[in-house]
Amino acid sequence: MASGSEDGLGIPSKDYDSLIATTDVELLKRAWQNEKAAPEILQFQADLIRRSQEQIQLMEDTVEEYAENGTDPLTVSLYQMDLDRTQFLLRSYLRIRLQKIEKYMLHISKTELWNRLSKQEQKFAKRSTDHMEKHLKQSVLSRLPYGYQSILKQSISSEDDDMGTISSFCANHFFLMCYCLFLSFLIY
């Protein structure tokens, strides 16, 4: 070893210990916090989600086994609380992502954000967009004059679709609050 502060891998001991101490539950909590705080959808953490689901299955089996074997109820309760905490983090992480997809589905489907979604999320976004389009056509657009029966075009005279306008509105929506705060600061 080159120095006493490094392990055999050349990684400083403090960094190595903190890397090992980071569990999947802690990583899931960090991913949940990041997703919750970010205004746009972040990259889907596929490996972390898969490992967390496997860990949840193992924890469920352990709790069931301990309950059947007559293990101390306090121990079973502690394992169950840990299981519930992990399930909450996973469900909340996925729920936040679905809420963002529902809210910004038109913007996400037309930008590079689409690649940040999992395959299941892409199917959900596509299905939701199709359902929304079908509903709008049946309830509103079918009653409008011929030139105005498109979700993406405002009229026949539009040379290209108005999706650019919608996308720029959605993208600018993230910065709207900062802009308004800035204006109110200038006024007073």
40 in a structural domain:
yes
CA distance 92 to 45: 14
The per-residue pLDDT for 15 is 58
Return the residue matching tokens 């992502």: 97
The per-residue pLDDT for 122 is 94
166 in a structural domain:
no
Give the contacts of 122 (CB within 8 A, at least 6 positions apart). Answer: 114
The per-residue pLDDT for 99 is 95
Number of domains the chain contains:
1
CA–chain centroid gap for 28, Å, is 12
139 in a structural domain:
no
| Adjacent-strand bridge partners of 12 | 6
The per-residue pLDDT for 154 is 54
CA distance 109 to 124: 11
110 in a structural domain:
no
The per-residue pLDDT for 138 is 85
Mean pLDDT per 10-residue section of the chain, whose length is 188 residues: 47 54 85 94 94 94 92 91 95 96 88 92 93 86 76 55 51 52 51
The per-residue pLDDT for 12 is 57
143 in a structural domain:
no
Whether the pTM exceeds 0.85: the reply is no
9 in a structural domain:
yes
The residue type found at 76 is: V
Return the structure tokens found at 161: 């679709």
Q: Domain of residue 92: give its range.
A: 1-103
182 in a structural domain:
no
The per-residue pLDDT for 4 is 46
The per-residue pLDDT for 70 is 87
Domain harbouring 96, CATH code:
1.20.58.1030
179 in a structural domain:
no
Residue 45, number of CB atoms within 10 A of its CB: 20
